[in-house]
Structure 1
Amino acid sequence: MGNTHPGATSPFGMVSACAYSGAYPTGYGRYAKNTEGVPEEMFERTQASGFTHFQQSGTGAIRKYYNYVRVTPMVQPLDDLGQSWALHDERAEPGYYAANLDTGVRSEITVGEKVAVHRYTFPDHHSARVVLDLSCGGLAIDLGRTVPLRAQVESMGHGCAQGTVVMEGVPLSVYIEADTPGWRQMLWYDRRLIPGGTRLDFDSIRHTTLRPFGLLFMGSARAGQTIEVRMGFSLRGCEQAKENLRRECGTAEPAFEKVRSGTRARWGDHIGRVKVEGGTPARRTVMATALYHSLIKPCVADDESPFWPNSGPYAFDICTMWDIYKTQIPLLQAIAPDRAMDLLESLIRVCEEEGNFPIGYRMARGADRFFRQASALAHTAIADAHALGRNGIDWGWALVHMADDLRRMYGEDFFEHGLVHPITHTLDLAYAHHCTAKLARALNDRRLADDLERRSHQWVNAFEPTTGLLRDSEFYEGGKWNYSFRLLHDMAARIELSGGDKGFIDQLDRFFGYGAEPVKQPGVGPQPAEMALGYALNRFEGLNNEPDMEAPWAYHYAGRPDRTAEIVHSTLTWQFGTGPGGLPGNDDSGGLSSWYVWASLGLFPVAGQNLFLVNAPAFERATMRVGDEEFIIETSGHRETPIGVDGLDHDPPAQYVQSATLNGKPLHAGHLAATDVHRGGRLHLKLGPEPSTWAHGIRPPSHSFTLSNPPANT
C-alpha cells in the first residue's frame, strides 16, 4: 500500500495533518500492522475519530508514529470522544486535505511549515463543539500508543490557549487561536468539563494513570457556519510556537486561505523543478505523485532543536538513512540543494551533540539508530556534497566526525579484523572508508586518505571466493542474493570474483528470474514457512528491499545496459500505478518514489561516487532544474507505452539506447559525472526497439586493486 497518507503537508515541513483512525502505520486508513504479505484490515470502512498532526510517510516498522494533538469536530456529547465516524468525499491536494464526517461536519485542513489551520463547517445544531485532545499519540495497535510523560495546558482568554506535552522525551508546544464568536472555551479532563479552570498540569504520567485531557470550544451552530482553529507548533516552547503562528498566519482572521495558497505555491515551485513531456496521463500522474512523495521527508525545522540551543536546521523523520541515502538525498541535492545541505548540517550537529551519526532519527530523545540495518551511511551523502562543491559546511570538521564515526559500533570490529557480521556491515563500512578517504584526499590529508583507502578494499572479505556471493550471515530483510549485487566502489574486482562478465551476468540473470517460472506472491498473514520458501528462491524482490533498488544497474558494469533497460522498463510499467495500491512496497520516506523519478528520467545516482548511470528514459523529454541551471534529457525514437495493465495482455516492449550525445558531443559510455548533470546541459538519447552495442565497451569507473595483491586481513 506504500504506507503513505493523503494528509496536508508542506515540502520538508515540520507539520503534517490528516484524518486519524489509528490504523498502521501513519494513523490513517484501514489496515493493521503488517511487514510481510498482504495487510489485514482493521476497519471495514475509511473512518476517523478526528484529525491529528505529525505523520510518517511511507515507513515500515519503526514502532512509534506520532499523531499528536487530535482535533475533533463534534455534535455529540464529550463522552463520545474517541468514537470514529465514516469519511466521505475525501479530497487531497498538496497542502490540503478535506473530508465529510458521518456527523454532517465538513472538515478541511491546511498546513504551513510549522502551523496547521483547521476549518470546520457545521450543520445546524444547538451544541456543536471542537475538541482538542492533547493526550493523543501513536496508533490503535498493540504497543502502538504513545503516552505523554508530562503536560500542561492553559486557557488564556477567549479564543486563545497554549500547551506543552512531552512525548518520547521531546517537549512539543502548541499555541492555539480559534475563531469561535459566542462559543464557550473550557478545559476538560477524563471527558469531564472543568468549569472555571484555566490550567492543567501533569508532572508525571504513566500508561496506568493516563486519562485524556485537553480543551474545547462549544456553542450553537447555524447550518453552514465555519469555525477556524489555528495552531502554531514548536519544540522550543509556547512563545516560539506563538511566533511561528504569527509568522505564517499573520494577525488577520481568517488565515486558512492564506496558509493554503502559500503552501500550494511552495509545492508548485518544488514539483515544477522536474518537468516531463510525453507519456500517458497515468504515467505523468505517477511521476508527479512520486516527486511529491520524494519531497515530504525529512522534516527540516529551522531553529527548533529541543536538544541544543543553537540556531540552524534541525532535521528529523530520517526514517532511515538506509532508505534515502541512495536515491532521495541525491534527488534533493539536485533539485532542493539548500534543504539537502540543511539535512547534512543537522546530521553533523547530531554527531557533535549525541556522539555519532544516526542511521535513523525521529522527533524523539534517544534516536532510533537502526544499527542492525546499516552502518556509516552519512559518510556517503557528505562525500557527494563535497564533490559537488557545496558550501556552508566546515569540511575539515566534518572529516573529523566522519573518521571518528568509522570506529563506532561495528566499526571497531571492522578496524581490527577487516570483517564484521552481519556481513552487509562489512560492505557499508568499506564503502564509508572509501567516501571518507575521498574527502580526506581533497583536503590534502594524504596519510589519513591512504589508510582509509587501504581499509576500503576490505569489502572483498565479505564475499565467498568460490561463489562470488556474500558469505553466509544474518541479513536485515532479504538474503545474501539481495545484498550481493550492491554497487560497490570497485565493481571491476567484484565482477572478477564472480568469474568475469559472463559469470556475473549469469548470476544477475538468475536473480532477476530470466527464463524462470513466475513466483506466487504471499497473501494475507503468510506463515513463516511460506516466507522462508520465498526467500529461498534468491530472487529480486521488486524494489521492496533497498539493495534491490540498485541491482538492475549492476549490469552496466558488466557491459550489458540493455538488461538494465529491460528490468527498469518492466518495473516502471507494471509495479507502479495510480490507485491506492500503486506502490510496490513501503515508500520508505520517499526513497522508493525517488527511485521512480530517477528511473523515469533515465538516470541513476551512484551515491558516494559523483556518478550517474544512463538508461532509456520513460518520457520523450524531461527538464530538471538543478540549482540555477537546467539539465535536459531528450530522446529521438521514443515510443509511448501505457502504464499498468490497461487492457494489455502482454508486456509492452522495452526501449534501448542506440547512441547518445552530451551537449552535442558523442557519449559512448553509459555513465556521467554528477557534476556534468549539476552544471546543466543537454543529454540526447537515440532509442530503438532492439538492444545495441552502446556502452558495452566503456564501463563505469572502478577504484580497483589487484586480487593477487589483496589488502591486509583478506
Structure 2
Amino acid sequence: MNLNIRPILDQVDPFIGTAATDLPAAQGLAASWWWPKAQVGNTHPGACAPFGMVSACACSGAYPTGYGRYGISTEGAPEPMYDESLASGFTHFQQSGTGAIRKYYNYFRVTPMIEPLDALGTQWKLEDETAEPGYYAATLDNGIRCELTVGAKTAVHRYTFPAAPSSRVVVDFSYGGLAIEHGSTVPLRAELQSLGQGEAQGTVVMEGVPLSVFIEADAPGWRQLVWYDRRRLDGGTRLDFDHIRRTTLRPFGVMFMGPTEAGQTVEIRMGFSLRGTEQSKANLRSALPVSIASTGSIGAAGFDACREDTRQAWAGYFDQVKVDGGSPERRRVFATALYHSLIKPCFAEDESPFWPAGGPFVFDISTMWDMYKTQFPLLTALDPAKGTAMLESLVRICEEEGNLPIGYRMARGTDRFFRQASALAHTALADGYQLGLPGLDWDWALVHMQDDLRRGYGEEFAARGIVHPISHTLDLAYGYWCTALIARGLGDAPLADELEAKSQGWANAFGPDGLLRDSSFYEGGRWNYSFRLLHDMAARIDLAGGDQEFVAILDRFFGYGAEPVTQLGSRPFGPEFAIGVDLNRFEGLNNEPDMEAPWAYHYAGRPDRTAEVVHAALAHQFGTGPGGLPGNDDSGGLSSWYVWASLGLFPVAGQNLFLVNAPAFPAAQLRLGGNDFQITTTGHVETGIGADAKGGPRYVQRARFNGQALDHSYITGDQLHGGGTLEIELGPVPSDWATKTRPPSASDRPGHARGPGARFQEYLL
C-alpha cells in the first residue's frame, strides 16, 4: 500500500492535556453526555523516553504531576492554584495523566539560580516553553534558559546563564511530592556525598523505596559543596540521615556554583537506580559513556547525543504506526495520543529494590483499570518483548508480595487500588497466553492467577458467587474465565471446568431490569458499569430481554433523542451536579468504566450505533490545545482508546479479539511484531474534529480480510499480530453488515451459528 505518509512524530504536541478541558461545544449525540469527573487531562510536557524509568519536567508543585497551575481536582473544572505557569526547579519521575493516587514523585529537584541559596523554592515564571518527545525547554524569568532530556534511566539538564557573579545549580535531595495538603513526600532516610571533580552521589528512601542518583556536572572552574537548611557546609562533603520526620525535615543537597558570562552553559547529567549508587553510576556511564569528570569536555556523549538517542527511540515506535490523510488537527491529536500511550508503564530492567534477582521490573501501572482495556493491548502489539516483560513482572510481584497488582507504582503494596477493581492482571495474562507470547512460564503464571482469585474481595465471591461493590463480581467472574482459558490450554481440564463454573457468577450481579444491582461503585454508578464487554455477552443480552431490549437501554444510556446537557463548572456546584447524576448517562471518555461501552452494540447486531457513538467521541471530545482532553489521560489509557478508535479497532481485553468499526483515517499501516497489518477504506470522508467537525459518521458497508469476505464485526489478535490486509467499504447510511452475526461468547443462544457446548476459542478464526 502506498500511503501518503507525512511523519507524525513531528506533529506530537506534549502540551495537549496539560490544562483544564477547553473544547468547542459538542454537537449532536455528544452534547447529551455528562462528565462528572475532573475536566483536565493531567498530563505534563516534560521529557520522557518511551516506557522509560525517568522523566524530567518543570515543577510548580501543582496537582497532579507537579507541573501546571491547579489544585487537587476530582470533579468538574479544576481550581487554579496559580494564575500563570511557574516553576521552582525541575524534577524527575512524574505520573502521566493520573488523578488522585496519593503518590506524585518529583524527586531530586534541580534549580538553576543567580539568586542566593536562601531563594531556593522561589517560583519563577516560565516563558518560551517548548516540548517534543524526549525534550523540554523553558526560560525562567531570571533569564536562565533551561533544557531537559532523558534516557531510559538517565536525565541531562543544560542551563544557559546570563552574566552573573555567582550562578549556581542546586540539587535538592529532600524535595518530593506536591505543594498541596498531604501532598509532599518526606524522605525516611538519606545519604549524599560530594565526590569532587564534578561528581556527587546519594540515596534517598522515599516511601520505602531506595532511589539513588549519580551526578556529573560539566561546569569547569565551579565549586561544588554540600548544603543543609539553605546554608553551605564549607568543607563538608557528606550528609547522612538515619531517620527524618516531617517536623524535623530541613532541605539538603549538593550545589555547583561559580561566575558566568552571558550565554555560558552548564550541563548536569544524572543516572538513577533503585539498587544503589554504583548501579546509578553504571546506568549513566552505559548510556553516556564519555565521563566529563575525566575529559573535562561534554563531547559527543552529552545533552545533544542523549536527546538524539531518545528521539530515535521514539521514532522507532512511531515508524510502526502510519496513517494516511486526515486533517492537520486530527493528525496532531492522533500523534499526541500515540505519544501519551507510550510513556507508561515504566520499564526498569534489573532495578527491583524488593527482590534480589534481576530481570523485568515494571512500575507506574497506576491506572490498570483502564490500561488493561486499551494500553496493554497496544503495548503488546507494538513491542511483544516488552509485553512479555510486563507480564513476567506482574507475576513476579505476585510471587514476592502475595497478590497480582490492581495497580503498581514505585513502591511495594496495592495501596488504595484495590477499591477500583479485582483480577485485572488476569485479562492481560490471558491475552498474552492466547497470543503465544514467548518467554513466560505459563504453569508458573497459572498457579499465581488461581491463588490470587481468592484474595481481597475474591474470598467472598468464591463462597457466595457475588460480592459488593458489585462491579467486583464482574471482575472476578471474568478473572475466573481468563484463568480457565490458560488452564484448559495447559491441559488441566478439571481445573478449567471448576474455574469456568465460577466464571458464570457474573449473572448474579444483574437485576431483572437488565442492569447491575444497586451497590456502591468506584467513581460511577450502576448504569455505566452495566455495559462491560463480558465473556458471555450473548447470555448477558438474553438476560436483558434480547437484542431489541438491550439496544433500547443502550440508546437511553447514550442519550439518543435526549436534550443537550450542562456540564459542571467550578466548585461550588449548583443544581447541575444532582441533575447530571440523575441522568444515568454516558460519561463520555471522562470516566474509565465507559471506555468499552460503545462496542456493546456490536454484540446486539448494531455496529451502526457503535459507529455513531465513536464518531461523536472522536469529533467532540478531543482537541489540539492544552485543554484538548475530556478528562484524566490515566497513564495513556484514554489516549490508547483514541488510537484504537481512530484505526477502526477496539481490543476486547482477555479475549484475543478486536472489534471492527469505521476508521477515522482513509488508510493505516501497522508494523506489529515484524508483520505488516494494513487497513484500507473506500468511501472515506474526512469529518474533522472540534470546531471543524462536520458531517455524520460513516458506516461499514462491507469488509474483507486478506481478500475474503468478513461478514462478522471482529478479527482475532492472531490475525492482527500476524499481519494482513483489512479492507473496509464505507457509506453514509447503515447497512446490514455484521447484523446477523455476533462476536463470540462463552455460551450459545438461538440465532447464533455455533454448536452447543463448543468452546469460546473455537469461534476465533
C-alpha distance in structure 2 between counterparts of 1:59 and 1:438, whole Å = 32
Is the deviation greater in 696-705 or in 207-216?
Answer: 696-705
1:418-443 deviation per Cα after TM superposition (whole angstroms, max 9, x unaligned): 00000000000000000000000000
2:355 corresponds in structure 1 to 308
Residue 83 of structure 2 aligns with which residue? 44
The answer to whether residue 70 in structure 2 is matched with residue 31 in structure 1 is yes
Q: CA deviation at 1:369?
A: 5.1
Query: Residue by residue, what CA displacement relative to the aligned partner does 1:1-35 show, whole Å, maximum 9, x if unpaired?
Result: 21000000001100000000000000001011001
Alignment pair present for 1:531 and 2:584: no
Q: Is 1:586–2:629 an aligned residue pair?
A: no
Q: Separation in 1 of the partners of 2:717 and 2:546?
A: 27
What amino acid sits opposite 1:678 in the alignment? H
Q: Is 1:518 paired with 2:561?
A: no
Q: 1:529 to 1:63 in 2, by over 3 A?
A: farther
Q: Which runs of 5+ in 2 are unaligned?
A: 1-39, 292-296, 751-755, 757-765
Q: Does the 8 A contact of 1:376 with 1:406 survive in 2?
A: yes
Mapped to 1, the partners of 2:272 and 2:86 lie a distance apart of 26
Please tell me whether the aligned partners of residues 362 and 368 of structure 1 are also in contact (alpha carbons under 8 angstroms). Answer: no
Residue number in structure 2 paired with 1:398: 445
Aligned residue in 1 for 2:194: 155
Counterpart of 2:715? 672
Task: Check the 8 A contact 2:538/2:748 in 1, yes or no.
Answer: no
| Aligned: 1:475 with 2:521 | yes
Contact preservation (8 Å) 1:383, 1:435 = yes
Corresponding position: 1:130 with 2:173: no
Check the 8 A contact 1:361/1:369 in 2, yes or no: no
Cα distance between partner residues in 1 of 2:746 and 2:543: 15
Q: Tell me which of 366, 377, 390 is aligned to 1:319.
A: 366
2:271 match: 232
Structure 1, residues 434-484: CA drift from partner, whole Å, max 9, x if none?
Answer: 00000000000000000000110110000002x010000000011000000
Residue 423 (structure 1) aligned to one of 433, 447, 470: 470
* 1:705 Cα offset (Å): 6.2
Q: Is 1:564 the equivalent of 2:610? A: yes
RMSD: 1.3
* Matched residue, 1:201: 240
TM-aligned CA deviation for residue 207 of structure 1: 0.3
- TM superposition shift of 1:543: 1.3
Q: Distance in 2 between matches of 1:625 and 1:505?
A: 36
Give 1:397's aligned amino acid.
W
- For 1:473, what is the secondary structure of its paired residue? coil
Instruction: Output the CA distance in 2 between the equivalents of 1:425 and 1:605.
Output: 21
1:551 equivalent to 2:551? Answer no
- Residue type at the aligned position of 2:86: Q
String of CA shifts for 1:537-581, please: whole Å, max 9, x gaps: 100001122221100000000000000001101100111011011
Corresponding residue number in structure 1 for 2:737: 694
- Aligned residue for 1:552, secondary structure, equals helix
User: SS of the counterpart of 2:616?
Assistant: helix
The CA distance in 1 between the partners of 2:203 and 2:535, in whole Å, is 48
Structure 1 residue 320 displacement after superposition = 2.2
Q: 2:651 aligns with which of 585, 605, 613?
A: 605
Rate the CA distance shift 1:705–1:407 in 2: closer, same or farther, 3 A.
farther
Match of 1:712 in 2: none
Offset of 1:104 from its aligned partner? 0.3
Opposite residue 41 of structure 1, the aligned amino acid is P
Does the aligned pair in 2 maintain the 1:358–1:369 contact within 8 Å?
no
Q: Distance in 1 between matches of 2:191 and 2:53?
A: 22
Distance in 2 (alpha carbons) for counterparts of 1:632 and 1:515: 37
Distance 2:493 2:104 in 1: 45
The separation in 2 between residues aligned to 1:331 and 1:532, in whole angstroms, is 37
What is the correspondence of 1:5-404 to structure 2 with a 5 Å cutoff? Answer: 5-252=44-291, 253-254=297-298, 255-368=302-415, 370-404=417-451
* 8 Å CA contact 2:524, 2:593 repeated in 1: no
SS at the partner of 1:438? helix
1:190-241 deviations in whole A, cap 9, x for unaligned?
Answer: 0000000010001100000000000101110010000000000000000000
Superposed CA deviations along residues 75-114 of structure 1, whole A, max 9, x for unmatched, are 0010000001111111101100000000000000000000
Task: Confirm whether residue 504 of structure 1 aligns to residue 550 of structure 2.
Answer: yes
User: After superposition, what is the alpha-carbon deviation per residue over 1:328-378, rounded to whole angstroms, capped at 9, x for unaligned?
Assistant: 001111111111111111110000000010101111233435111100111
Residue 165 of structure 1 and its aligned partner are, at CA, apart by: 0.3
In structure 2, what is the Cα distance between the partners aligned to 1:387 and 1:64? 34
C-alpha distance in structure 2 between counterparts of 1:698 and 1:323, whole Å: 28
- 1:528, CA displacement in angstroms? 8.7
Indicate the SS of the match to 1:327.
helix
Aligned 1:610-689 pairs, distance under 5 A: 610-646=656-692, 651-689=694-732
2:103, 2:403 → 1: CA distance?
A: 22
CA shift for structure 1 position 326: 0.5
Contact kept in structure 2, 1:431 and 1:488, CA below 8 Å: yes
SS in 1 for 2:355: coil
2:540 alignment counterpart: 494
For 1:28, what is the secondary structure of its paired residue? Answer: coil
- Superimposed CA distance per residue, residues 376-429 of structure 1 (whole angstroms, 9 cap, x where no aligned partner): 111100010010011110000100000000011111111100000000000000
Distance 1:236 1:498 in 2: 54
Structure 1 residues 528 and 461, CA gap change in structure 2 (3 angstroms): farther
TM-score normalized with structure 2 length: 0.91
Q: CA deviation at 1:526?
A: 4.3
| Alpha-carbon distance between aligned partners in 2 of 1:527 and 1:698, rounded to the nearest angstrom | 46
Please give the alpha-carbon distance, in whole angstroms, between the structure 2 residues aligned to 1:636 and 1:541: 32
The Cα shift of 1:706 comes to: 7.5
Q: Residue 51 of structure 1: SS of its match in structure 2?
A: strand
What amino acid maps onto 1:383 in structure 2? A
